[in-house]
């Protein structure tokens, strides 16, 4: 079976974990601090705060900005549900904006329309979809809105835009270190920012809301990353650029081999100067052209030893959010998102893939489509 994704783990990671286990200190300590400093330096940001998931980091960043009930947060619906769930968890209302078909990232014009219509927009949360940098800061500038710009960079560690790290595009950026991501800690996430107050508040909120003298000053959560997980990340980080480079090589090969397959489109990526992190190899497929459903293709690829996935079914089409918007008598008009949601399919992509693996996947894919 060619897996959809697979972490790249070597002896360095194993030894790093063993060193922590031998040290006798397994919870949050010097290894987490070193990992935070290393990620902050990579992102050219002053502060980094590690959490137990990217989802927690998104939620805590919003909490740190006092975003809650009666506030609105502009988000894409074409994302993993964690992005939107983090908003709802604060009590705020997600306001869905549409995406660009070429990048699968938030459309600046759609964000601008949402800003025009929204009365209580306190934050905008672009997603660097699949590792493609998303730049919507212009939409905020145009309307003079003082909205907090929080980027979901779960797919985008190592991506660059306009000559600098992708984290420079937002007030704060959150990365994920889930096993499928560009580097992993097993589980975990991190927020990077230049804002000292935001970093300090997230650091406090991630550990019960305790201040420096161990008094609860607000209700927090338990989301501090332990040293044993940070050790894996520290060992992975020096290989990030090499692993991302291998992802890009495999993605380029996919694009060449699929360029002339009817009904299959490979999103082109941003038009501005950027470096893509290539977390996902997403394609848009006109399944009806071949008389197939997406479920047919997923099942038939599996029967040929290839795992494919769906990233993602649009969040506003999930039962909870359908019911939420119906209760509030709110309509959602996202034509590009809905088209993409119907057609999107993810092909296997991970650093240790070889050209031969890509060729096997593409051959199986074309065979499935053409019957």
Could you tell me the domains of the chain? Answer: 11-239 (3.40.640.10), 240-370 (3.90.1150.10)
Average pLDDT over residues 146-166: 96
Distance of CA 175 to the CA centre of its chain: 7
Using the predicted structure, report yes or no on whether residue 119 has a pLDDT greater than 80. Answer: no
Using CA atoms, how far residue 119 sits from 72, 90, 172, 261, in Å, is: 8, 18, 23, 45
Instruction: State residue 137's pLDDT score.
Output: 85
Residue pair 314/127 in contact by the 8 Å Cβ criterion = no
**How many Cα neighbours within 13 Å face the side chain of 320?**
6
* pLDDT tens digits along 54-81: 999 999 999 999 999 999 999 999 999 9
Instruction: State residue 331's pLDDT score.
Output: 85
Those residues with Cβ within 8 angstroms of residue 355's Cβ, 6 or more apart along the chain or in another chain? 250, 253
Instruction: Single out the residue of 26, 13, 16 nearest to residue 226, CA to CA.
Output: 26
Average pLDDT over residues 175-190: 98
Q: Give dist(CA 350, CA 249) in Å, integer.
A: 11
Residue pair 144/117 in contact by the 8 Å Cβ criterion = no
Using the predicted structure, report yes or no on whether residue 188 has a pLDDT greater than 70. Answer: yes
Confidence of residue 138 (pLDDT cuts 50, 70, 90): confident
Average pLDDT over residues 10-29: 97
Distance of CA 45 to the CA centre of its chain: 19
Token readout for 60 is: 């805590």
Those residues with Cβ within 8 angstroms of residue 238's Cβ, 6 or more apart along the chain or in another chain? none
Instruction: State residue 34's pLDDT score.
Output: 98
Q: Give dist(CA 184, CA 176) in Å, integer.
A: 8
Those residues with Cβ within 8 angstroms of residue 215's Cβ, 6 or more apart along the chain or in another chain? none
Q: Give dist(CA 259, CA 191) in Å, integer.
A: 37
Instruction: Single out the residue of 35, 93, 100 nearest to residue 67, CA to CA.
Output: 93
Residue 264: what are its φ and ψ, rounded to 5°? Answer: -120, 125
Instruction: State residue 143's pLDDT score.
Output: 67
Instruction: State residue 116's pLDDT score.
Output: 85
- The per-residue pLDDT of the chain, averaged, comes to 96
Residue pair 154/126 in contact by the 8 Å Cβ criterion = no
Burial class of 355 by CB neighbour count within 10 A (0 to 12, 13 to 18, 19+): exposed
Confidence of residue 139 (pLDDT cuts 50, 70, 90): confident
Using the predicted structure, report yes or no on whether residue 365 has a pLDDT greater than 80. Answer: yes
Token readout for 221 is: 């959560």
This prediction's pTM = 0.97
* pLDDT tens digits along 189-239: 999 999 999 999 999 999 999 999 999 999 999 999 999 999 999 999 999
Neighbours of 23 (CB within 10 A): 14
Average pLDDT over residues 98-112: 95
Using the predicted structure, report yes or no on whether residue 142 has a pLDDT greater than 80. Answer: no
Those residues with Cβ within 8 angstroms of residue 221's Cβ, 6 or more apart along the chain or in another chain? 56, 59, 60, 205, 206, 208
Using the predicted structure, report yes or no on whether residue 352 has a pLDDT greater than 90. Answer: yes
Least confident of 140-154, 175-189, 219-233, 241-255: 140-154
Average pLDDT over residues 328-332: 84
What are the residue numbers of the active site? 181
Instruction: State residue 226's pLDDT score.
Output: 98
Token readout for 150 is: 């929080």
Instruction: State residue 144's pLDDT score.
Output: 61
């Amino acid at each position: 079976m060619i897996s959809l994704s697979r972490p790249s783990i070597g002896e360095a990671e194993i030894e790093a974990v063993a060193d922590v286990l031998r040290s006798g200190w397994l919870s949050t300590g010097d290894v987490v601090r070193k990992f935070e400093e290393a990620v902050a330096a990579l992102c050219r940001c002053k502060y980094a705060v590690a959490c137990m998931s990217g989802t927690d980091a998104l939620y805590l960043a919003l909490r740190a900005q006092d975003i809650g009930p009666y506030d609105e947060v502009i988000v894409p619906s074409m994302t993993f549900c964690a992005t939107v769930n983090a908003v709802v968890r604060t009590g705020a209302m997600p306001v869905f904006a549409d995406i660009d078909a070429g990048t699968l990232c938030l459309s600046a014009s759609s964000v601008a329309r949402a800003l025009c219509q929204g009365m209580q927009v306190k934050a905008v949360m672009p997603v660097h979809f699949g590792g493609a940098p998303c730049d919507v800061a212009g939409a905020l500038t145009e309307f003079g809105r003082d909205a907090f710009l929080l980027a979901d960079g779960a797919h985008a560690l190592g991506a660059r835009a306009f000559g600098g790290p992708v984290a420079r595009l937002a007030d704060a950026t959150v990365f994920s270190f889930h096993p499928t991501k560009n580097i992993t800690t097993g589980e975990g996430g991190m927020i990077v920012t230049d804002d000292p107050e935001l970093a300090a508040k997230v650091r406090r909120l991630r550990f019960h809301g305790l201040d420096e003298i161990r008094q609860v000053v607000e209700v927090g959560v338990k989301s501090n990353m332990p040293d044993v997980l940070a050790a894996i990340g520290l060992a992975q980080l020096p290989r990030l650029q090499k692993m991302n480079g291998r992802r890009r090589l495999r993605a380029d090969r996919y694009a060449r081999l699929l360029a002339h397959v009817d009904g299959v489109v490979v999103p082109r990526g941003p038009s501005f100067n950027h470096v893509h992190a290539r977390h996902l190899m997403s394609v848009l497929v006109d399944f009806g052209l071949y008389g197939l459903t997406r479920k047919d293709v997923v099942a038939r690829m599996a029967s040929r030893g290839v795992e494919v996935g769906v990233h993602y079914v649009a969040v506003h089409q999930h039962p909870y959010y359908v019911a939420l918007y119906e209760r509030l008598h709110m309509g959602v008009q996202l034509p590009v998102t809905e088209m993409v949601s119907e057609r999107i399919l993810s092909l296997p992509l991970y650093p240790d893939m070889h050209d031969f693996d890509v060729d096997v996947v593409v051959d199986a894919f074309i065979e499935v489509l053409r019957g």
